[in-house]
Chain A
């Protein structure tokens, strides 16, 4: 089958690899109909998350048809022929964490848990196509994928919902929604969202669903800010203001946004000395992340407010203003998304027509174009917000 493989920093290639097979009783094999490049894949493309190996298959946002199930999967849970969307987190369904619906913290799905334990004390769940530290599972930017614990994760999608609307239930829609849930929004709240990539876009729309009065979106690309405006947000282009924190205070009668969502993560952009220091330190591997957005979120947040972090951080961060955090009595909520909590309710919202997640798509290309699209997406060329890949279309560029 064809698969997008990591061959080194800024080097992806489409390789012909053997089709996946069932390795464990609760596995299933999915023939992928639609798959995507996620913003978090760009951190891997840039070589910033440790324990990638040459030859690893990328991708964690995919859906398709079940073509094979292991002996341990009961037919009432999943059977051959089911059309499913697969969450990016892998969960066993029975451990301490799964029982408490903390699905992204599953204790049994990461075979390489010990590497994560060395870095973080404990290991989160295994993920598809996202480093060996987080499981080393082959990903879904391919024609087929092996799905472990297939009786827990995959959600059946009714025929009338096209791939374009359903595929984002694999990560970014629930992740944006989880970001908004974690922000503990109360009616009348003003919510600030850093980053207007796909997760930010879904966080904006989810914030309104959860009762926000105003949403203020922060980015530096006008085309992304326009998309945020379409979702009802007011916007700040941080390259056009002197001080984002002061601007946010000015917009909120000096009180600051009640809830702040960092949908940027470890590769934030900004300006000034601190940003330059982060860049240098990240390049020199002294600091793994550039937490520019998180610092601003903590500074801007209303006293007693909540900072929610759906953005991905990988390691160790400098100059987090803990003084502000403590003295302003803020709450910080974060985590990889507990996917299985939100996939079904959000599918229902799509069915009812409350939201059509396909608005984020900017590029639809055959899988052979994926290596080039990583660069386009990373460099924000061609107004790129979301790249959808067709694993079966041949060669030439589609619309």
Chain B
């Protein structure tokens, strides 16, 4: 990509037919490079030990309508009559992103894999695996999710879901653990407190789940806003 960019710049400065050809070639290399980068969205993976049986975890996950209870970005999943499902998520700038998905592979109590159908805003590939941990120590749940821009669609949505995806998937899995084990997800949202100072108050509104470092500045406030934008 850097080579392409350098070629293009060099070509433009030459101001000759050869130079223009060179610049065009350089531009093409740059474009291909950036497209490859766009398509190489990393998949995110998280494995967690949860105190339940593989059967329980499988049953809970297999009912896709349960997923928004622990996947924070999902608003709803509804399973349709043909076994396909419609997923509604909160995307960039609070915009709703929708896709339909089908199950591509399944082994009872062991594995579920799904992918979005053509015509969605975004391509999503998901897989979850359930394995017994040794000595009755619970179940190892591994989930893997990959987002890709759908053909013909801008990459913004995919980039939105990919950014911070490793952290997001771990958070989701921890919420799943709490749901399976404790029956509820711990929260302090909505509890009482005394007067917040201005910076804290604004940051709390911007991102209620993120604690504010003591001595936070106005700059941190904007950083917090960027994180949710």
Contacts and interface: CB of A to CB of B under 8 A. Distances in A.
Interface of A: 1, 3, 5-7, 13, 15, 17-21, 23-26, 47, 50-57, 72, 92-96, 99, 107-115, 126, 132-133, 135-138, 146, 148-149
B82 interface: no
A342 B170 CA distance: 34
Contacts of A7: 194-195
A126 B186 contact: yes
Interface in B13-63: 49, 51
Given A7-B195, A54-B194, A95-B182, 20 more contacts: A1-B192, A5-B195, A17-B194, A18-B192, A21-B190, A23-B189, A25-B183, A26-B184, A50-B213, A51-B214, A53-B211, A56-B194, A92-B186, A93-B182, A112-B209, A114-B171, A136-B211, A137-B188, A137-B191, A146-B191
Contacts of A17: 192-194
Nearest to B194: A5
B196 interface: yes
B181 interface: yes
Given A92-B181, A148-B186, A111 B209 contact: yes
A55 to B, nearest CB: 4
A93 B183 CA distance: 11
Q: Is the interface of A mostly helix, strand, loop or mixed?
A: loop
B195 A96 contact: no
Most chain A CB inside 10 Å of its own CB: which residue of B189, B195, B200: B195
A340 to B, nearest CB: 15
How big is the B interface, by class? Answer: 20 to 34
Given A96-B138, A111-B186, A114-B171, A3 B192 contact: yes
Contacts of A99: 51
Closest 8 pairs between A and B when the two form their complex, measured CB to CB: A5-B194, A132-B211, A92-B182, A15-B194, A55-B194, A108-B178, A55-B196, A55-B193
B212 interface: yes
Given A95-B181, A126-B186, A112 B194 contact: no
B192 A138 contact: yes
A241 to B, nearest CB: 38
10 contacts: A24-B185, A53-B214, A54-B196, A56-B194, A57-B192, A92-B181, A94-B182, A96-B137, A112-B209, A115-B211
A164 B17 CA distance: 93
B177 interface: yes
Contacts of A136: 188, 211
B214 A50 contact: yes
Contacts of B187: 23-24, 111
A5 B197 CA distance: 12
Contacts of B137: 96
B174 interface: yes
A7 B193 CA distance: 11
Nearest to B211: A132
Contact of A55 (B51, B177, B186, B200): B200
A244 B182 CA distance: 48
B203 to A, nearest CB: 9
Given A50-B213, A55-B196, A111-B209, A23 B190 contact: yes
Contacts of B213: 50-51
Contacts of B167: 114
Contacts of A126: 186
Nearest to A112: B211
Nearest to A91: B182
Nearest to A125: B186
